[in-house]
Structure formats: C-alpha cells, structure tokens
Structure 1
C-alpha cells in the first residue's frame, strides 16, 4: 500500500488529472444525492485524497496541473465579468452602487476592528485581512447558479455583486499592499509606490480590454465555429499568460476581458455560451477538487483564534453590508434578506492574494500568519459557503427558473416604472427607443418599426382595457419575440374601451416565426394584467422594475407566465 502511494506521489499529470476528475465527479454526485451543492462534495473529495486526507499525490505532482488551474480561474473571471453587462444592469445601478460602497467599507472595517483591537494582531495583518475579506468566490457562485438553474433579480444582483466585490478587493488590496510594503521597505516611512500601484491596476484593465477588442474583430471575420472556438481559447490563455508573466492580476485582466467582450458583442457572450459550454463543467470539477487537495486542516491550528475572529467578523460584515445597502436602495425583500448569505463563499481571489503576499519579500515576517488565517477560513468557507448560497438561492425563489417562459423577454432591464407620456404616439416612440436600446437586434430600422406599430394602431386600438395597452409590430430581423414594459402609477390618459387610464404598456416586437407565441402572450397579458384586480394593484404600484419583475416571474405567476417546456409536455 505504501509503495502504491509512493508511486502516486510521482504520478504523471495525465494520471493525476484522471483521478482528480473521477474523484471530483463521484463526490459531486454523492453530494447532490445528499441535497448538498456538488461544489461542496468536490471540495470534500479533494480534501479526502489530498494532504489533509490520504495524501495520494505529492505537491510536485499537483504542480503539473497548475496550467489547468490558471485556465479555470481565467474562465471563472471571464464568466463573472460577462455579467457586468451595462444594458442588463441599467435598472440595478442603484442597488449595486450602494452594495459596492457598503461591501468595500463595512466588511473590511469590521474585520480590521475585530482583529486589531480584539485579536491583538499587527496593524499590517489586520489591514490586509480586512481588504481580503471583501472577496467572494466567483467559481462557487457561478457553479451553484448553473447547477441549480437559477435565474432572476437575485441572481443578477448576486453575480454582478461578486464581480464588483472582487474588483474592489483587488484594487483595495493592491493599494494597501503598496502602502504597507513601502513603509516596511523604505528608509523613509510614509512613502507610497503610486506609480507601481497604478501600473498594477491599470495594466490588467488595458490588457483585458485590448484582448477583448481584438477578439471582437476576429470573431466578426470568423467564418465558422471552429475559428471562433480557437480565437476564444487563445484570448483566454493569452490574457492569463501575459498577466502572469508581467506580474498583473490574471483574474482582474480576465474579468475585464469578459466584461468588455459582453458589452461590445450583440450576443451575451460567445466566449462563454458558445465556446466553453461543453467542457466547462469538467474544468470546474477539476478546479474545485484541486482546491480541496491544496487545503490543509493544519492551517486551523496555526491561525488559532485569529481565524475564528476573521470568520465571524467577515460573516457579520457581509450580512450587515448587504442589509444596509439593499435597504437603502429599496431592493426587494427577497434580495435584501438573502444576498448576504450568498456572498459568504471565499476561495480563488483570496488564495491568489495569499500567493501574492508570500512572493513579496517585504512581507516575509508576516506572510506565514496571513496565509494561515486566510487559508484556514477559506477551508471552512468553501465547505459552509456553498450550502448557504444554495439556501439563499432557494429562499429567493429562483432555483430552477433558468428556463424559457412565455414572457421571458421581459427581464428587469426591459421594465420601467413611473412612465409618463402626453400622447399615445409619444409613448410608443419612447417605448420603441427603449426596445432597441435594451435588446440586441441587428439591422432594425427605428422608423420602420415605429411605422409598423402605428399601422397596427390604425387597424384598431391596442388598448385592451383594465389599464392595459399592448402595442405591437413585426420585426423581420428578430429571431425571437422581444418586448418592453412601461408602468405608470398615475395612469396615462389615452382613449380606452372602458374609460380607465392606461397603467401598463407592453410593446411587443414579434419575429415572423413566433406568431403563435404572440397570440399566447396577448391572451396571458389580457387574462392577468387586464382583468385580475389584485394583480393590477401590485403591478401598477411597483416601486421599481425589480419589484415588477418578481411579480411577473414569481411562483404565483406560473399560471400565466408558464415554462414553455412544461406547456409542450402538457
């Protein structure tokens, strides 16, 4: 037995990859059977076969899979960055801004105060741990969202918050590291490496943005999926490789790559959805299993009480920051009550920052304690965190909702509240502008669409009564139905069949092949928005687009906004 383990310590990277993939897949499947996130199972499986368990493979063998880990981290960062889509986050700017400020101040301050004044640690360690506490594990969040097929305002807020938090964490950490490092190394205390810090922050942004622009040009010229796949892989590997070679944050560079690429292309992200979809689960399985193999329970002993204080201070800071920010932003109750728990996981970014400190000779005296505290809490967070995130997704009511619904085209960014317009014609023109701004449809002529909608109005008013109007037109260029919704609490004084003012206007742009769905949407809206007084009272009085979205896509709306696959089965 000992000889077998000894031989595994010098196993080839391919054998190690096979064992890791098998162990991760098996442990993930077992976790799902126990109603736990597969991520938790994969990490526990890694701990079992790693140094904290049977120690099947040596550190030298694990080093052979380091490039795959780097690719996984880059892919995770690109995925998170792709959620920073400006048009999709237009209605979420307020709550995300408040959340970013709160997460960047409340959480690190609370961690610093607890560790410095109660834990008695040094000022430098307390500051650095405070900065690291902002980070959330993007890989865990992305994996759980996809595993549970979750979708909605909560997921939208969560994924964007993770991207913003990690960006803020990297920026704040680099500033703190530069300031503290200067004081530790410089003969004259108080000096600050401004140029070096700016270089570390601006470099990844320029690198990721530049590669995204080049990738966009290449994909526009690509003639087939093979070329697209090659270009995407090259972009990801090139960004990670160049960043690592020059000492940039590879995760920040890849995050910018994903964000820029998602905002300059018409589709959500070719780089993610089209190219990496087939083998992404395998990459993430290997990543989480390797993360478990690298974790050592010995860190808990070395970190001692500091790790306990850091864990609870960060936990409390996340909950307090989310509650404070989202209450001030008047976010929906489901988002406000659950987001803090979903932000508990912490791994990739935090581990990367640990490595950064360990490689910095200026922190030679404190790197050991810093690493022990962070890695020990990462161990706990990556076991407890996924469970809390899974529970938060369930409590938010968004598990299993990443499926096509009848009016799936009405997302939060396609809804506006407090809408005003003096005439129906002006209202329709404004909605057409909103439709073209928030949906990615190529080759649509605005004037032609406006004329199409007005022509339909000439045939007969689309004010259906009950405060509902559904103007619509044909979009020959569209592949699927699109639409926008405008809500007016006071009502719009248009001519209607029942004399009631219009409180809800839904502009539909129908693709030629979706006439049947068009009729189904009209019937569903008329049956619910046009006649259900209880539903009308809630929808017309929505405080924000997020509140309206939850009404339209919540569990109580499934009788009219049904899942298309369920309708086909029926």
Structure 2
C-alpha cells in the first residue's frame, strides 16, 4: 500500500491532464466515425460517453477536469454564437426574416403555454408550473449546429433552423424574466419591474457590446489575409466580446451572435474569420460535449416520474405545433413547416442554468424543479439531436422527391 501511495503522489498533474485531453480527442474521433456508421449524432455519443465516465458511473475522469467545465463551456458557446451570427446577413434576412421571427415567437410561446397548461391541470403548484413554463423554450444551440454540420444537409430547413436557434435565447430570456415577474407579482413582492429591467439589460447590453466590438472587427478583418494573423484576431475579438458581456451581466452567447452578424454584414472578406473560428471550435466542442456528459447523473432518470413525462410531452408538443403554426404564418416552404418543430427539441445547459436561477430565488421549490429538470434535460439532450438528425435527413429526402416529381 505504501508503494501505491508513493506512486500516486509522484504522478505528474500535467501528465494526467495531457493524458486526459489526448484521450478526449481520440474519443471525439471515435464518436465521429461511429456516428457516420450508425446514424447516431456525434453529440449524443459524446454525451453518453461523458455520462459513463462521470463520477456517477465509472468515475474515469480526474476531479480537476470537472472544474474546467464552466470555462470551457463559455469559450465553446462564444464560438458557437459567433458562427451562428454568420446566418444573419441583411439581404438574406430580408427574404426569410418574417419566417424566422414568426417561427421563433410561435415555438417559444407554444412551449411555455402548453407546459404551463398541462402542469397546472395536473395540480402542480402554480409557482413551479410558471417557472418550468419559463424554462421550457430554452434550446441547445451547440448541439443543433453540430448536428447540422455533421449531416451536411443544405436547403431552407437548416438555414431557418440555425437562425431560429440563434435568436431563440433572446425570447427564452424574455419569457423566463416575464415568468419570474409574474411569480413575484403573485407573491406580492415589489421586484416585478426590476426583473424585467435586468432581462432587458441582459439582452440590450449584449446587443450593444456585440455592435461596439463587431464594427472594428469587421473593418480589421478586411485588411488581414488568411492565416495566423486572422485566426488570432478572430479569436481575440470573440473571447473579448464574451468576457465583457459576462462581466457586465449580459448574455455572452447573444453578444457573440451579434458580433458574428456585424462581421457577416460589414466585413469585406466576411467568410475568413468564420472559417478560422470553425477550424478551432471542433476540439473545444468535443471537450464541451464530453464535459456536459460528466455533469449528467443517469441515476436521476428515475426521478422523472409522471410529472416529468408530462413535461417532456408538453414541451415537445408546444415546440412542434408552435413551429408549424409559425412556419405557416411566415409563409415558409412545406419542408420547413413539416420538420422545423422536430428540430428544436434538444435542451441543454441553458435550461439548467435558468433552473438554478429559479431555485436561488425560490429555494422552497428547488427539489421539485431541479429533480425534474435534471432528468428531462438528459432525455432531451440525448434523444433531441437524434430526432433533429432524423428530421434533417428526411427533409433532404422530401426535397429530392419533390424535385423528381417536378
């Protein structure tokens, strides 16, 4: 035993970290190949692998790696936000903007209203029903963009999907703030307007930061050629934007999206910085998804129960019907109407973050909210990308059959 203790004491921390990172990247490679052969999204494989390696299962990961998750997730989501911003080119939005906004508003409200109605009818405490309704519209932009890239599906559906997911958080924050304000009002407290003002700053501050930093980035990008200087410049601006947004209390994801939109609209060679960031985002996203899996406690699945099942069905129905109604109101193509709602099912860390905010304000309901959200988030994050992938591939087949008939 003394020899084992002495050996463990002499293990280099740096060596452990290097070994773990190497193993993570190789697991990412295996997940990519396995995904191509099985049709299971890489995201789902990485999340499952992370869950199996977590302390709640096989406990294969050094404890120090768990402390990295908030830092890695912020960097990864800043890059995801920047890449999503490329979808917001003014000329393109003039063509599809009505569709995108109609779908986003409709699916967000649909998820919130259906979840509240179902839970209220099941005699869930009204405060819990309102808070869960506020969390329901939250999506998983990182998982969605990864599935879209992995499937290589082109056409209206993936374009609309990426734009909807990009501004989904905008409405998610507003709806959550409104739900918090309603709970405050019902409780007789005086924080109704404070909560709304805080949420408006979270959104407005992010837009302001993204615009202020995005303008010089757009102008500088056109003066740099491809290669290392452009990569350094792009990474510097993206991380600077995320850091300032986080320090100011606004949404770093939304700020990064606005930054990307500024570059997409005002840079003379706007595709270069997006290619640069996309090239280095893949390894970070592999770490991000595996670490997200580390946070899962598969043993919590038994806590879902009847109410959790009702939440899953209600959120799914609200998103699918809301997406369909919004696509009809916006005059979207038939393939978008048919599949957009199904592509919006993934739900991840944003929902858990909102749940933690809710339980901090209302600790008396923490066990009910967290026990349900942890289990249902595992379900949505594992199976949501599978449904998104299936819908995108079916949409491609649908478009091909329509072209053949034409």
Does 2:176 match 1:173? yes
Note the 1:331-410 alignment, pairs <5 A: 331-357=332-358, 360=360, 362-397=361-396
Post-superposition offset of 1:189: 7.5
Greater CA radius of gyration, 1 or 2? 1
- Residue by residue over 1:69-91, the C-alpha shift from the partner in whole angstroms, topping out at 9 and shown as x without a partner, is 21111111222222122211222
Post-superposition offset of 1:355: 4.3
Partner of 2:45: 41
Note the 1:377-456 alignment, pairs <5 A: 377-397=376-396
Partner of 1:74: 78
Aligned with 1:142 (options 140, 145, 153): 145
Partner of 2:315: 314
Q: 1:194 to 1:277 in 2, by over 3 A?
A: closer
Q: 1:554 to 1:63 in 2, by over 3 A?
A: farther
Aligned with 1:97 (options 94, 101, 111): 101
- Residue by residue over 1:449-493, the C-alpha shift from the partner in whole angstroms, topping out at 9 and shown as x without a partner, is xxxxxxxxxxxxxxxxxxxxxxxxxxxxxxxxxxxxxxxxxxxxx
Q: 1:180 to 1:269 in 2, by over 3 A?
A: farther
Partner of 1:488: none
Q: 1:28 to 1:178 in 2, by over 3 A?
A: farther
Distance 1:269 1:222 in 2: 12
Post-superposition offset of 1:389: 1.0
- Residue by residue over 1:225-246, the C-alpha shift from the partner in whole angstroms, topping out at 9 and shown as x without a partner, is 3222111111111122222223
Q: What value does the CA root-mean-square deviation take over the aligned residues? A: 3.0
Partner of 2:284: 283
Distance 2:364 2:271 in 1: 44
Partner of 1:259: 261
Q: 1:377 to 1:201 in 2, by over 3 A?
A: same
Q: 1:254 to 1:189 in 2, by over 3 A?
A: closer
8 Å CA contact retained: 1:52, 1:297: yes
Distance 1:286 1:81 in 2: 22
8 Å CA contact retained: 1:299, 1:375: yes
Does 2:110 match 1:106? yes
TM-score (norm: length of structure 1): 0.64
User: What residue ranges of structure 2 are gaps of 5+ in the alignment?
Assistant: none
Distance 2:31 2:223 in 1: 43
Aligned with 1:235 (options 237, 242, 246): 237
Greater helix fraction, Structure 1 or Structure 2? 2
Distance 2:63 2:188 in 1: 32
Distance 1:140 1:398 in 2: 22
Post-superposition offset of 1:272: 1.7
Post-superposition offset of 1:196: 2.8
Distance 2:24 2:90 in 1: 38
8 Å CA contact retained: 2:184, 2:191: no
Post-superposition offset of 1:333: 2.2
Post-superposition offset of 1:101: 2.6
Which secondary structure does the structure 2 equivalent of 1:36 belong to? coil
Distance 1:190 1:167 in 2: 19
Which secondary structure does the structure 1 equivalent of 2:279 belong to? coil
Which secondary structure does the structure 2 equivalent of 1:19 belong to? helix
User: What residue ranges of structure 1 are gaps of 5+ in the alignment?
Assistant: 400-549, 559-570
Higher relative contact order (CA 8 A, sep 6+): 2
Which secondary structure does the structure 2 equivalent of 1:276 belong to? helix
Post-superposition offset of 1:259: 2.1
Question: Number of matched residues?
Answer: 398
- Residue by residue over 1:295-318, the C-alpha shift from the partner in whole angstroms, topping out at 9 and shown as x without a partner, is 112333344333211111011111
Q: 1:16 to 1:181 in 2, by over 3 A?
A: farther
Distance 2:143 2:191 in 1: 40
Distance 1:329 1:203 in 2: 29
Distance 2:369 2:376 in 1: 11
Aligned with 1:201 (options 194, 203, 217): 203
